[in-house]
Amino acid sequence: MKIDKKSMLLYVVTDRTWLGENSLVDQVEDTLKAGATFIQLREKDLPFEDFLKEAKEIKVITDRYKLPFVINDNVEVAIKCNADGVHVGQEDMNARNVRNLIGEDKILGVSASTVKEAKAAEENGADYIGVGAIVSTSTKEEAKVVSMDTLKDICHAVSIPVVAIGGINEENVLKLKGSGVDGICVISAIFSKENIYDASKKLYNLSSKMVSYEV
């Protein structure tokens, strides 16, 4: 599966911090019903077998909705669950090495916070760039904030889709209008909410307005 810019419109990264009595699989489906366009499974502490089982369960749902599903960082899980691809950060495995492992037909996303990093990612086989943090966020406290000027420069420097990530919510998403990004990547703005469907729907509509796509 390859992606286009509209795949970035509402890019959702999972977080089990707010699971409560719900399952992550159910939460993911709620976001998909509301308009999520891309799912990334992010698990930093789950044992390998549990991670793989969860990934396979979510892949069934994303296949049903015919939407992209990638694994954060863990190439082995991505390959074993037949995910659509992998997303890696600057501190993770080199993008070219990941591309060699997953093949040309899988999706490769790479995080970047500078033009240099973004251009290198594209040259090394990335299909899209995740730029952030746009706003300081508790999900990744060590991430430095990227200025609006740098965000614009990155969008102009690469030919592949760009999604903005980090501290984005319904209050600030429209501030990205005119930056050149193709959508937003959110975590707590959805999963910390009591009604995940409603939160996802609202963010989908706002992101659509921000990038001037028709809803």
* Predicted local confidence at residue 214, as pLDDT: 46
**Catalytically annotated residues:** 42, 111, 140
pLDDT-based confidence at 135, cuts 50/70/90? confident
pTM: 0.94
In the prediction, which pLDDT does 136 show? 73
Res 2: pLDDT: 72
List beta partners, residue 130: 111, 163
Using alpha carbons, list the distances in angstroms from residue 56 to 28, 30, 72, 78, 86: 13, 17, 14, 9, 14
pLDDT band, very low/low/confident/very high, at 213 (cuts 50, 70, 90) = low
Cα 193 to Cα 186: distance, rounded to the nearest angstrom: 12
Q: What is the pLDDT of residues 192-205, one digit of tens each?
A: 999 999 999 999 99
Domains and CATH numbers, the chain: 5-211 (3.20.20.70)
**pLDDT tens readout for residues 8-41:** 999 999 999 888 788 999 999 999 999 999 999 9
